[in-house]
Every structure is written in structure tokens, then in C-alpha cells.
A = this chain, B = another copy of it.
């Protein structure tokens, strides 16, 4: 009997060409499907809640997959897959889901984390996981600007060309600029954004725009103007991929992988 599972995955995306299977390239989806095949002898398609780009990481990506047959426990499945994965990818949880669970369709929201390091000199141990800003930023101004992102709005100005969606309206439920407790010495800063859904490159475009405010190139009120234009050319440049982490995917009750 077919069983559907919700699989939670964390990965360091640095050395992968993104989530989606691409011929001749190492991808997260391809590596996962290969690990499932090697450990269970089953050809299973793994559907992620969304595609992450090359160099983008995940703390809690969720994928749905249907197994034509699996009689052992979810714990055994998790162990089997992990035994065939490289050190850079880990299955953190496996839960049995309703038979029609679909990781994209059933998602009701996502939270991303974007990591920054304000530091003149490069840091060999953080460059895979943070965007380095060489100059000081005004954190309070960035926080004021971030508050203006929150709401039910048309986010066309933060949508990169590519896979266009029918509507560019999204509910951004939270947008915070969070300096680390040791920010004065480490320069570590994170921006977290939560919404019911995201347009292509939306978080990286928001972050790039908030950094322009941080650099004092624009005041926080500029965000309202950018949103009002509904045109990508008015926002700041996209932040690079290595700072971005898909932190959590939310599902409606009954479809939660818990």
C-alpha cells in the first residue's frame, strides 16, 4: 500500500546547483532521490516545498514523497536515507502524512533567514553562510524599513524576472532585522522574513533593499515608494545566495509534519 511521507531536510547548499534535479549537476533533490534509491531500492520522486537556488541553504526544507511500499518505521526510513547522504545534507525528521499531502500545494507559509556579517576583512569560516558587508550599517534604520515590508501587499518590486506567478500579492507576516547578542564584536546580523508565500528572489531583493537603507543611501520611508512602484527596477540589488536559509515551512492543521 502506498504511503506518503513528509520529510524535513537541512542542507548546506554551497556545493550544490540548487534544489531541483538538473542533468550532470549535483542538486539537493537529485542527491536525496539517489540516497533513497540506494537505501530502499525504490524509485521515489521527492517534491520540495519550493526550489532553493544554487548556494542557498535550508534549516527546515520540507518535501513530500510517496512510497509504493514501506513497512518499517519512519525512524528506520530516516536512518536509511541518512546513511546514504553526504555530510552536507541531513534528514532531520520523517513523518507519515495524509495520503494526498503535497509539500508545495499544502504549504500555508514559510520563514526565511538571511545572514549578514558586517566586517571589513573576510572571514574564512563564515563566507559560506553570510553576506559580508564591508561598511557599517544603521541597524535602527534597517529595522524601521523592515517594519514597512510587513502587510498584505503587491510585492512586484521585489520579484526578479523568471518564474512569474499569477498574482504578486503576498501576506508578509513578519520581517525583522536581528543583530546577534555579540553584534559589536562579531558583526553578525540576521534578517528573517515570514509570509504566506514568496515571489522569485523576493527575500534576496528585500535584503538588498534593506542594506541600501542601512548604508544610508535611502531613508526607511523609501520602502513605501519602492512598493508603490510595483516595478523591480526601483528596489535595491539582490543580496547574494550564500546568506539565505529556508528556515521553516508551515502547513495547515492535519497536514503538519508533526
Q: How far is the CB of A3 from chain B (nearest CB, A)?
A: 23
Question: Is A127 an interface residue, CB under 8 A from the partner?
Answer: yes
Which residues of chain B have C-beta atoms less than 8 A from A12's C-beta? 124-125
Q: How far is the CA of A122 from the CA of B86 in the complex (A)?
A: 10
Q: Which of A102-139 contact B (CB under 8 A)?
A: 121-125, 127, 129
Chain A 11-22, CB-CB to B under 8 Å as 1, else 0, gives 110000000000
Contact of A89 (CB < 8 Å), options: B10, B87, B124:
B124
Q: What is the number of residues of chain A that contact chain B, defined by CB distance less than 8 Å?
A: 17
Chain A 58-93, CB-CB to B under 8 Å as 1, else 0, gives 000000000000000000000000100001111010
Contact of A121 (CB < 8 Å), options: B11, B90, B125, B127:
B90
Are the C-beta atoms of A88 and B129 separated by less than 8 Å?
no
Are the C-beta atoms of B122 and A82 separated by less than 8 Å?
yes
Which residues of chain B have C-beta atoms less than 8 A from A89's C-beta? 124
Which residues of chain B have C-beta atoms less than 8 A from A92's C-beta? 121
- Report the nearest B residue to A124, measured CB to CB: B12
Q: How far is the CA of A12 from the CA of B124 in the complex (A)?
A: 6
Which residues of chain B have C-beta atoms less than 8 A from A90's C-beta? 121-124
Which residues of chain B have C-beta atoms less than 8 A from A82's C-beta? 121-122
Q: Which of A5-51 contact B (CB under 8 A)?
A: 10-12
Q: How far is the CB of A84 from chain B (nearest CB, A)?
A: 12
Chain A 209-253, CB-CB to B under 8 Å as 1, else 0, gives 000000000000000000000000000000000000000000000
Known interface pairs A12-B124, A88-B124, A90-B122; 10 further A-B residue pairs with C-beta atoms within 8 A, sorted by A's residue number: A10-B123, A10-B124, A10-B125, A11-B124, A82-B121, A88-B127, A89-B124, A90-B121, A92-B121, A125-B129
Give me the interface of A with B, judged by CB distance under 8 Å.
Answer: 10-12, 57, 82, 87-90, 92, 121-125, 127, 129
